[in-house]
Structure 1
Amino acid sequence: MSRQVQDAYIVAAARTPIGKSHRGVFRNTRPDDLLIAAIHAALKQAPGLDPKAIEDAIIGCAMPEGEQGLNMARIAALLAGLPDSVAGVTINRFCASGVTAIQMAADRIRVGEADVILAGGAESMSMVPMSGNKPSINPLVFARDENIGIAYGMGLTAEKVAQQWKVTREQQDAFALQSHQRALAAFAAGEFTDEIVPVDVIDRMPDLANGAVAERRRTVSLDEGPRADTSLEALAKLRPAFAAPKDPTGRATGLGSVTAGNSSQTSDGAGALILASEAAVKRFNLQPLARFVSFASRGVPPEIMGIGPIEAIPAALKVAGLKLDDIGWIELNEAFAAQSLAVINTCGLDPSRVNPLGGAIALGHPLGATGAIRAATAIYGMRRRNLKYGMVTMCVGTGQGAAGIFERV
């Protein structure tokens, strides 16, 4: 039975603030609780929607284990108070998990299999480390040279990109500083107000003197990462964090250039979007924020995984029937300054359109949640600036790139 392709609209987009992992504001907050907060906020943005109309929850997570295991999507949907009829699935494309969740929800709607789906992502890098609690790489990875890149740490892949695309340490540090400066300016201008839901955090400490438990309640309403004291001088003092790159003969080529200051921050956060068909928009009197236009994912050599968007961006544009000049807002996830600059320079992206409010170097990168978070940023940014098209794109561990395009409506 053939189905007529229909449009999928984003009718709500909300996210939590992003906290620094391990010592940050959400270090003791479960990722499913962050996701619940984002879901509640998204539902408030669609007041006419009957929750029973939501057919599925598709949630991205890069390390779906521990506190974010056991099919977090279904559990969070239930704990958020959604009806038992709302199904849930947790999906994983590492850093592109959140935007892939949006794509999967949109495709279900576009082929007529669903009318309303919840999509998003959540990640706590405080509670579940980047490689998981028990990493176990298939031994075959080490048996053939062509597969060894799968085992490379992300920092080493960034060093290789910096070397191959000739991105200097000075360029990386300048890009990192710009990320912080843009984020701080966005805070001052209230640019994130529409997308961020404040989250109440409760810290409990034993009061031994009184034999009680003392509670401290705080409301977190902004991302924790941007630093006003960042400068080129301070960034230049940081030592390279990863092994020095080597040439094909195995000889070291000099000091590395990738530092903690020009890399994305490990983070905690969540985002949730509600997608609906045109029929559901009319039925529940919803206000569309954007239309989902296209998506593409492509593979690249694992050892230079950061260049993934170089392949994904043209593919997404081709599917959409658009040109790069049509895209007014680009959220290019800043996994590392080195790979961001390599993508910008190779694709010919307009730097003024890339991460106008700062990126992951300043704002943070909660892995599987980032795609959903940056989609919310792009959607609201397009609306404030009256831009027609926006894109969310990122590199992905083990050598992938992903890009999704949205149209303001």
Structure 2
Amino acid sequence: MLCTLSRTGISSKHTYRSFSATVRTLEPKSLFTKHPDDVVLTLALRTPMCKAKKGGLKDTPSDVLLVGMLKAARERSGIDPALVEDIVVGTCHAPSPAYEARASAIAAGFPKHVPVQAINRLCSSGLMALRSISDSITKGDIDVGLAVGVESMTHNPRPTPKFNSEEIKANQAATDCAEPMGWTSEMVAADFNITREKMDELALLSHNRASEAQKSGRFDEEIVPFKTILKGEDGSVKEVVIDKDDGIRHGSTIEGLAKARSAFPDWGQARSTGANSSQVTDGAAVALLMRRSTAEKLGLADKIIAKHVATSVVGRKVLERTGLKTSDVDLFEINEAFASMYVYCVDKLGLDIEKVNVNGGA
């Protein structure tokens, strides 16, 4: 999610039609102009996104992913690492994320005085890292920061929440917090009458778009080829370089997706499958954000990818606050964790599907 802007192939015309982090005024015209205090994105990189437990990064723990991405950001940005004033790492399942993040930053070549923190907001942890850095720049606390997202679901699978509080156990809404996200997908589908067929239809569009994007090289610039190891079933170990996402379902058809089994058979008439839900993934991404005036001072004006990174460009609240209509926005990126949510957002907001997740999604 950290690499949404580069992944969608944003051109210069899109750059100035994106949302401003500073929100100095709610007038739409302010979104299309440059200001020295704009928060801008100058670098966005990621590892390949690989299937957990059987993909190319299955033998690569999260700290190895983290060191690799931080090192890539330091080397490819070309800036003095001492200029980075904060590093925020979004992660969900790592058992000791703050320690891991701090150690990884030092190992990647960042000075000890650069503060590092870990943040967890479950599925939006990476976006919260972006928001944290963006907010710090907006408030004037820092001028340059790194936002990182990392997860190894092979090494750190989703833990089963356990509650000890009697108050929680006695409150159904509270205990429901331990339910897996897949159940939420099923509830959305049931509550809003979203059919399996509609979910498969948009899933097919996503798979085919991602397939086309990969084959045409649209992801190449943002992916950092990752040197790692792969262990064979016979105990052998070999060095490899992983440079492609390995979860894209090339050659998908609606008939093939219809044959996919329910991912949650205990739900009853479940509609979420392995084909219309996001995979369990290993991977990481990093983004370098800074004040526009700082980017220009450092000679990085031509490296600016976009003006601000919005946490969610599809929320009606964001559109209302900025005075924009959906027709004013060139591209939308919606988290495709489950097709039911994807269908709901597209329908609820009345979005043009040709503008949504143009290179596929999760």
RMSD after superposition: 2.5
Q: Is the 8 A contact 1:141 1:150 kept in 2?
A: no
Per-residue deviation, residues 153-184 of structure 1 (Å, max 9, x unmatched)? 21111111111111111111122222111111
Matched letter for residue 91 of structure 2? C
Report the Cα offset of residue 85 of structure 1: 1.6
1:270 is matched with 284
1:404 is matched with none
Per-residue deviation, residues 11-61 of structure 1 (Å, max 9, x unmatched)? 1110110010011111110112212222233234422x1111111100100
Q: Find the residue that maps to 1:77 and give its secondary structure.
A: helix
1:43 is matched with 74
Report the Cα offset of residue 143 of structure 1: 1.4
1:241 is matched with 263
Match of 1:259 among 246, 258, 273: 273
Identity %: 35
Report the Cα offset of residue 280 of structure 1: 2.0
Are 1:285 and 2:316 an aligned pair? no
Instruction: Please identify, of 74-83 and 318-327, the stretch whose mean Cα deviation from structure 2 is larger.
Output: 318-327
Q: Find the residue that maps to 2:343 and give its secondary structure.
A: helix
Distance 1:273 1:228 in 2: 28
Q: Is the 8 A contact 2:56 2:230 kept in 1?
A: no
Are 1:94 and 2:122 an aligned pair? yes
Match of 2:84 among 37, 40, 54: 54
Q: Find the residue that maps to 1:86 and give its secondary structure.
A: coil
2:350 is matched with 348
Q: Find the residue that maps to 1:325 and give its secondary structure.
A: helix
More strand by share: 1
Distance 2:115 2:23 in 1: 24
- Go from structure 1 to structure 2 and tell me whether the alpha carbon gap of 1:112 and 1:183 turns closer, same or farther (over 3 Å shift): same
Q: Higher relative contact order by CA 8 Å / sep ≥ 6: 1 or 2?
A: 2
Distance 1:285 1:192 in 2: 25
Q: Is the 8 A contact 1:4 1:111 kept in 2?
A: no
Q: Is the 8 A contact 2:98 2:117 kept in 1?
A: no
Report the Cα offset of residue 349 of structure 1: 1.6
Correspondence 1:170-249 to 2 at 5 A: 170-203=197-230, 215-243=237-265
- Go from structure 1 to structure 2 and tell me whether the alpha carbon gap of 1:170 and 1:155 turns closer, same or farther (over 3 Å shift): same
Matched letter for residue 161 of structure 2? P
2:162 is matched with 136
- Go from structure 1 to structure 2 and tell me whether the alpha carbon gap of 1:149 and 1:205 turns closer, same or farther (over 3 Å shift): closer
Distance 1:234 1:293 in 2: 36
Matched letter for residue 173 of structure 1? D
Distance 1:73 1:280 in 2: 25
Report the Cα offset of residue 337 of structure 1: 0.7
Are 1:13 and 2:44 an aligned pair? yes
Match of 2:148 among 95, 120, 127: 120
Distance 1:256 1:293 in 2: 35
1:250 is matched with none
Per-residue deviation, residues 71-102 of structure 1 (Å, max 9, x unmatched)? 33222211111111211000011111111111
